């Protein structure tokens, strides 16, 4: 039997696999998606908007690595965190490696997420250790 935590695990697994179609199956039709991104705050509604945004950020990467991911339930809310390394930057073709970290706080139930609040570091150029 699924609960909020296992729903979140399935959503995160689909995201890290960049299986955006599958990711959408874990969202209710009127999911609320709020994001605080480096350019400002944004709000969208519906699975298509969630999928469109996440796929625009991660879907076109030629190289994509999961550096870290975490998931836990916090008093009835779900916290997802992940750090990805990818290239090129999704909006700067031909660029090198970038690292991005996002924190998501989600509401939902056993079948799907009904709300996602996302905080994003932005795409940061990887600093080479010398």
Radius of gyration of the chain (CA): 15
CA 81 vs. chain centroid, Å, equals 8
Q: What is the pTM of this model?
A: 0.92
Cα(93)–Cα(67) distance, integer angstroms: 22
Going residue by residue through the chain, which has 130 residues, state the pLDDT in tens, using 9 for 90 and above: 468 999 999 999 999 999 999 999 999 999 999 999 999 999 999 999 999 999 999 999 999 999 999 999 999 999 999 999 999 999 998 889 999 999 999 999 878 999 999 999 999 999 876 5
pLDDT at 94: 84
pLDDT at 129: 67
Angle 73-123-116 from CA coordinates, rounded to 5°: 30
DSSP assignment letter at 120:
E
Residues with Cβ within 8 Å of 2's Cβ and at least 6 positions away in sequence, in order, are 10, 110, 111
Q: Which domains are assigned to the chain?
A: 4-125 (3.10.450.50)
Quick one: tokens of 21? 């179609």
Quick one: tokens of 100? 């991005």
CA 58 vs. chain centroid, Å, equals 9
pLDDT at 20: 97
């Amino acid at each position: 039997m699924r609960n909020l935590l296992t729903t979140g695990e399935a959503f995160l697994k689909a995201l890290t696999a960049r299986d955006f179609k599958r990711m959408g199956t874990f969202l209710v039709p009127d999911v609320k998606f709020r994001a605080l991104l480096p350019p400002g705050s944004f709000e969208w509604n519906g699975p298509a908007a969630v999928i469109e945004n996440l796929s625009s950020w991660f879907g076109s990467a030629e190289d994509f690595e999961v550096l870290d991911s975490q998931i836990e339930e916090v008093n009835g809310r779900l916290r997802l965190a992940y750090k990805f390394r990818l290239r090129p930057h999704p909006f700067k073709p031909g660029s090198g490696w970038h690292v991005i970290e996002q924190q998501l706080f989600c509401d939902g139930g056993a079948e799907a997420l009904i709300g996602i609040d996302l905080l994003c570091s932005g795409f940061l150029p990887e600093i080479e250790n010398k």
